[in-house]
Amino acid sequence: MDKPSKRKARPAIFVHGGAWAIPEIEREAHQKGVHRASMAGFETLLTGGSALDAVQKAVEHLEVDETFNAGRGAVLNAEGEVLLDAAIMNGADLKAGAVACLSGVVHAVALARGILERAPHVMLVGDGARAFAEEAGVATCSPDSLIVERERKRYERAKQLSKSGGLDPVGGPADTVGAVACDAHGHVAAATSTGGSLLKLPGRIGDSPLIGAGLYADDRRGAGSSTGWGEGIMRVGLALRAVDSITSGLGPAEAAQQAVRILESRTQGHGGIILVDFKGELGHAFNTPHMAYAYLAEGMTQPEIGI
Ligand code: ASP
């Protein structure tokens, strides 16, 4: 495999907006959202930003877009609150930052970046994570300002269904957001941000902020960001498994397909993954009815969008 230093790569970004049965009425908004986020991330790469800057920028776009289960617009837990999980990882030095069970911050990914840069730890949760926002220069907000009407209604319906035993605990909205990127120096990075799963128990943490499950980045291979049913994704270590399987003989497209096949066969899990390798080649796979995604790389004039 090539040495990661001093080589040139194709700048590329891949963004996802979740893998699940996205209702028809929500599909256009998902496509527009991932389109915009991929453009913002790619612009960062073209103006000299690093892969790490690009994934943060793309995810921040999705966190303020109420369409997605991240930042404002995230799903509510069993107590009717928004509690966020997010992480970011740099492939050059394997540095990472993560937050979980976080309330009152729109840009959970920015706080994760602050932890990567300033904390002596990789992950902070709950009140400790929120308290670190000041140190990281990240704005806080009232926890209720993250709740949107669509999600309040979804929560009420789901509560009723769960009382009557009709709620599919793994079939709810899973529009976690994520991004992977490769910059012109061949450095890769990954980021994720989510409200987790609808009606999750207080204290539940999904795969999204877990290094190796929700995301992974290593310049020697590539970067990956997962989405879907977190309890299955965690148990197969989906992101590390997929990134680690990228070799000169197995590109990101095949690596993504192989990882999702393992998720399905070993845990009966469902979800998807986006991948980039250190040359800027891209790949993705999902076994859900939909995954909202967009990618853009040097040589392309417009993002390729899918759902
Ligand atoms: N993976 C996330 C979780 O389980 C959900 C998602 O991807 O939408 O928390």
Mean pLDDT in residue range 18-30: 94
Query: What's residue 187's pLDDT?
Result: 98
Residue 72, φ and ψ in degrees, nearest 5: -75, 125
> What is the rounded average pLDDT of the residues 10-35?
96
pLDDT (0 to 100) of residue 167: 59
- pLDDT value at residue 8: 84
Domain limits, the chain: 4-306
Residue 306 is inside which H or E element, if any?
A: strand 304-306
Whose tokens are 């891209």? That residue is: 282
**Of 90, 102, 108, whose CA–CA distance to 215 is shortest?**
90
Do residues 196 and 170 make contact, with C-beta atoms less than 8 angstroms apart? no
Return mean pLDDT, the chain: 94
| Ligand 1: centre distance to CA 229 (Å) | 5
Q: Quickly state the pLDDT bin for 166 (edges 50, 70, 90).
A: low
Please, which residues bridge with residue 281 across strands? Answer: none
How much is the pLDDT for 87?
98
Whole-angstrom distance, CA of residue 42 vs CA of residue 158: 37
**Which atom of ligand 1 is the closest one to the Cα of 175?**
8
CB atoms within 10 A of CB 125: 17
Instruction: DSSP letter for 153, please.
Output: H
Indicate which residue of 47, 67, 140, 176 is catalytic. Answer: 176
pLDDT in tens, 219-266: 999 999 999 999 999 999 999 999 999 998 999 999 999 999 999 999
pLDDT at 7: 61
Q: How confident is the model at residue 2 (pLDDT cuts 50, 70, 90)?
A: very low
Please report the pLDDT score of residue 165 as a whole number: 67
Give the Cα separation of 183 and 119 in Å (integer).
25
Q: Angle formed by the axes of helices 126-136 and 108-118, to 10°? A: 70
> What is the spatial distance between Cα 215 and Cα 86, in angstroms, rounded to a whole number?
10
Residue nearest (by alpha carbon) to ligand 1 atom 8: 174
Please say if 47 is a catalytic residue: no
Cα–Cα distance, 294 to 141 (Å, whole number): 29
Q: What is the reported pLDDT for 168?
A: 60
Tell me the whole-structure pTM to 2 decimals: 0.95
> If pLDDT is split at 50, 70 and 90, which confidence band does 1 have?
very low
pLDDT tens digits along 255-297: 999 999 999 999 999 999 999 999 999 999 999 999 999 999 9
To test the ligand 1 pocket, which listed residue (193, 229, 284, 293) has its Cβ within 8 A of the most ligand atoms?
229
Q: Which atom of ligand 1 is closest in space to residue 69's alpha carbon?
A: 8
Give residue 53 CA to ligand 1 midpoint distance, Å: 23
Determine the average pLDDT of the residues in 47-55. Answer: 97
Residue range 160-172: average pLDDT? 68
Note the pLDDT of residue 174: 75
| Bridge partner list, 127 | none
Mean pLDDT of 76-84: 97
207 lines ligand 1 (CB under 6 A): yes
Cα(192) to ligand 1 centroid in Å equals: 10
Q: Is a pLDDT exceeding 50 seen at residue 213?
A: yes
The conformation of residue 66, written as its DSSP 8-state character, comes to T
The pLDDT, as a whole number, for residue 151 is: 95
- CATH number among 3.40.50.300, 3.40.600.10, 3.60.20.30, 3.90.550.10, domain 4-306: 3.60.20.30
The per-residue pLDDT for range 103-147, each reduced to its tens digit, is 999 999 999 999 999 999 999 999 999 999 999 999 999 999 999
Token digits of residue 144: 């209720």
